[in-house]
Amino acid sequence: MQQPSSAPLVVGFDLDMTLIDTAPGFRDVLRALGAELGVDFPVEEMTANLGPPLDLLLEPYLDADAIGPAGDRFRALYPDHAIVAAPTLPGAAEALAAVRGYAGRVLVVTGKYPANARLHLDHLALDVDHLEGWVWGVGKADVLRREGASIYVGDHVHDVEGALAAGALSVSVLTGGSTREELLAAGTHVVLDDLQAFPAWLDDHLLELRLDALAADLRERGSVLVAYSGGADSAFLLAAAVRALGADRVAAATGYSHSLPQAERDPARDFAASLGVEVLTPETNEMEREGYRANGADRCYFCKAELIDVLAPIAAARGLAHVATGTNADDAVAGFRPGIRAASERGAITPLRDAGLTKAQIRAASRRWDLPTWDKPAAACLSSRVAYGIEVTPYRLGRVERAEAATRDLLAGAGLLNLRVRDLGDRASVEIDAALLPLAPDLESALLDAVRRAGFDAAVVDARGFRSGSMNEAL
């Protein structure tokens, strides 16, 4: 019924009365067909029962040999009477966008004649990866299974049948002809008033699914040493490990070196202590690695290699089965990440990434768990502030740290969240939240004076504001 958390998200939607309101057009086509055939169809009654195949709707009112030709004529009349008249239902576009937000695929699986269904999708510019028409009830299951759908959204009890037969989670909306009671009796798992509620439901569903996967993974691991920086990701991983394993089978290790700001150290220790976890603070010597000091594009490889090389023996000596890093699912698709490669080569595990947890989900779960790190700004190591190709030295890291501390003090009352002082060799570039720019002239002058006093000959405030990973823009 539920996909593995790491599997690509695929969501199927019914069309009529789920994504689009076809009732007005359906009425018009029925009236036109009835006029041609000389049959007084009970238009309102038939329209109230949209969902079953057209032949079944026509069956009570036509001779058996007339149903097929009447259906063909209905489909021929349909484009001129029903396409323009059918709007999207509330929340339809947002529901599809919500699936896209998780890099998911969108299916439309409908009993409607495929050519007419395509006309609706094209007219309304609905973003769909695959359309399958002329499938009904349990017949939808074959399509859902073939396409890997884990969720099917519909409005009719027969949509529920299709979802259940496919082993998919059935989500029902009350915009069609089936009542809440009928849908629940049919076995649907979720009932929403309409698709406006779908994005929030999907967020909660995927978060719960991925948190369950994380807990199961950690329990299977048995024990872990968390490579712990005190940031939002590693703090969340530490809390999740304690929940899954107990504090006695978890330890945290923070590598102390010139790259770790002094201001990060006490809060990190305090948070771990609040969980009852021992914090180890071994020294790391990445500065002794030539590749790290050279500060090429692969600098993070040497930093992470040093960290895992230091932590792995500590974990083994304490009987902890794994070293775990806070790499998340966004990190895995963020492009050039040599540090992730270094950790993987050395056997470190990535439970957050493996569970599919994104940065936004980690923050949402942290807030749900009342972790103080839920809204903590990203705080990359000090070396990330030094422009590629400029040698990393303790002096350079020290002046960056002093400049950032002075800047935070000056902007303490301005609501500053994100800050980087970039060491460009001959000058510093100060990045702060774009919402705070431009600074008042007197404040900007004081800020730049403070940065120069920290050890820079010249300094500017970047008019583009803070950009995570802006040093990579030159790569």
pLDDT, tens digit, 9 for 90 and up, residues 323-335: 999 999 988 776 5
Contact yes or no for 156/171 (Cβ under 8 A): no
**Per-residue CA distances from 238 to 277, 332, 342, 381 (Å):** 9, 20, 21, 19
Give me the domains of the chain, ranges plus CATH numbers: 10-15+93-205 (3.40.50.1000), 23-82 (1.10.150), 222-368 (3.40.50.620), 382-474 (3.30.300.10)
Mean pLDDT along residues 80-99: 94
Q: What is the pLDDT of residue 368?
A: 97
380 pLDDT band, cuts 50/70/90, is confident
Say which range, 23-37, 99-113, 116-130, 166-180, has the weakest mean pLDDT: 23-37
Query: What is the value of pTM for the model shown?
Result: 0.84
**CA-to-CA separations, 362 to 67, 207, 376, in angstroms, rounded:** 56, 9, 11
User: Does residue 281 surpass a pLDDT of 60?
Assistant: yes
For the ranges 74-88, 99-113, 186-200, 222-236, the lowest mean pLDDT is seen at 74-88
| Cβ-based neighbour number of residue 216 at 10 Å | 13
The residues, ordered by sequence, that sit 6+ positions from 188 with a Cβ below 8 Å of its Cβ are 160, 163, 170, 171, 172
Return the DSSP state at 288.
Answer: G
The share of the chain scoring above pLDDT 90, in percent, equals 81
Distances (CA, A) of 338 to 282, 296, 303: 23, 11, 10
Confidence of residue 51 (pLDDT cuts 50, 70, 90): confident
Has residue 462 got a pLDDT over 60? yes
Coil, helix or strand for 82? Answer: helix
Torsions phi, psi for 339 (to 5 deg): -65, -35
> Mean pLDDT in the chain?
93
Asked if residue 117 lies in contact with residue 15, where contact means CB atoms within 8 angstroms, the answer is yes
With 0-12 / 13-18 / 19 or more C-beta atoms within 10 angstroms meaning exposed / middle / buried, residue 417 is middle
Amino acid 1: pLDDT:
45
Question: What pLDDT score was predicted for residue 332?
Answer: 78
Over residues 199-205, the mean pLDDT reads 98
The pLDDT of 236-253, averaged and rounded, is 98
Residue 47: pLDDT band (50, 70, 90) is: confident
Could you tell me if 465 and 431 are in contact, meaning their C-beta atoms sit under 8 angstroms apart?
yes
For residues 15 and 120, the answer to whether their CB atoms sit within 8 Å is yes
Higher pLDDT, 451 or 84: 451
Tell me: the pLDDT tens digits for 287-334? 999 999 999 999 999 999 999 999 999 999 999 999 999 999 988 776
> Hey, what are 186's tokens?
């049919």
Per-residue pLDDT, averaged over 172-192, amounts to 97
